[in-house]
Structure 1
């Protein structure tokens, strides 16, 4: 690096170190706001100067029925547990406050949540690494994350779930008390009722309690309060599920079986990671029709779960192969699914027709470059932390909790199926570590 470059870098580091935390947060808000506004403007121009948002129709239908009919339903008549409740209720609340301008409200509110995610990233970094540079670099990388920026204005739960996850780990960085564990349990419940992956936050709470090395009496008291808080906060949803379906699922939606089956069937390797596995839905529906299970979501869920487990038990090597493919697709530098096409042919022997790669354009290349930046930053962290500092890093309770959470989530998606959109809530942590890696290399 030239002397001029070194001087600029040193000046930049000195400027950041001289900032107080409030000013650093304000600068971060400005950067994130500009970045998110830019993506909104790009989408606005691409859509002929109209505000149309993509997303899942099931969320909006449930929200409409909550708002119009006061019923948690897809069709306005039959109760459903197809989606966890927090995001549909979130949409219904926006509908109540903003009426016909809900599309605009979703974009604005979820953009604010994206900015909140960036702020939480800064605060977590300051808690963990104590350096302004380590906190500022992740903001820069996060503000360039086009896939996340784009997802933040889609009518999906991703940015809300990410906010809960980052808030959870920010609170987890605070000095521990029973009150803090109650708050952590409430946040974990909200995350769990937003996306089923949130269930993995509950063992993180237990692990953190174990880390505190409390006396047996204090440990049991804390654990009892956490369990009681969890039961209390989950009770309304599970009461609704039991009342309407006379069953209680381990996960907060009725799609556990179908998600397991989508990732464990004889056609999986033909479809994935090329196409969205949701395109396989007609084949699943035909199976349910054949077995007269279309109108019984509990029996249908159990049936698909059995079918998936049968496939796994009868094809263990295929299950391992699929797991490797899922892992690579989950962490692929190019967004997955890789393209679009049609699934044709009989079940068990399907083929893909009219396939077109869609992720090698500007947005796909931007994601690949960003993911490469993140990977390099994490490698630099490992290199600069070896050997003594790495042991200290591993002993850092909050860092180890984050790593355990990422590992558990990876295993979950390796068993079911994962794609880039499902990985986005975990990207801030990889960006966090990358920022520390770059900071350690230049300071």
Structure 2
């Protein structure tokens, strides 16, 4: 029976090719627009590290001004970064599987003069656990160990682009790179790695590319380098005294831990409480206790990484598809009622209302599926245009989930546009048209 209904649907479409093309185009346009913007929202909302996002936690403690909250509009929230002195205190814990603070810096690389002049790069000052926390993939070598953190030892990890620029495509592990006024030994070269969003540091562009070089954190003391990202202070600080800056109440470090079990998480919560109590006892952290451990997705939601505009555009695009579907109701009514005499003959010969209704509804769904095929092509073009427009921001593309959503939206649109016309044509009185025959 389904084969018969499909054959009749295609026969009907061929009978009115211009009208059929118009309806397919309307659905296709609606699917193209809605799929483009829904996919954009979907990509921005994806879990950037799904296999371990539930065990990675962003650490927040409230070391801010006792007389005012960190965020006046959301007074219950603690600061979103921590101070250097608090990072040192938190690093003393042996509870997390991996842990570490990091921040973005700007440093100069001095390549071989044959290659070019010194140039500035974005650097990530971090601990060796950074690469294990976030499962950073390596092309050559690997990260450094705890001894290199303590030294600190002059070691560096390069991203693929920097390695290509300095050493070509070869394995550069063991070679030296001059950064600022010091030579660093290359211990690892990354594979292409670009988490979207850049969840480990959303403060400096959630969709920016990762940094070019990675250095042991404690080289901040040797370079006397400050954060190239956001730094917030509630007490005055002598900016000419770097050690005073490190000991200040300025927040500029992002701190992550990996807690693999509920018991580990509870133990770390207890550790945070004990640490804050100790700081309160020496006169710091006089605000109410407000420690938070946020999973990756909780952190991204807290930071509102998905722009409100993306959500609004996705909703508007779906409404546009609904409007396209509603506009087809009148066209389908006219098309179906033009066949009223034929339907009356079929009814007189024993066809049931349900059979007539199903046939016409299937015709609407065939139109919708053909429109979906056109819409998916339009969406692919639209997403390619978005990628070109926002080059380097994200990788918008259709995956299996979004293809399924596109087809589902098309079927729903076909149901919206076809249900009433199909019901009307199956409800006609055959006798009226048979008398006219």
Greater radius of gyration (CA): 2
Identify the structure with the greater strand proportion: 2
Q: TM-score range by the shorter chain?
A: under 0.3
**Relative contact order: is structure 1 or structure 2 higher (C-alpha 8 Å, sep ≥ 6)?**
2
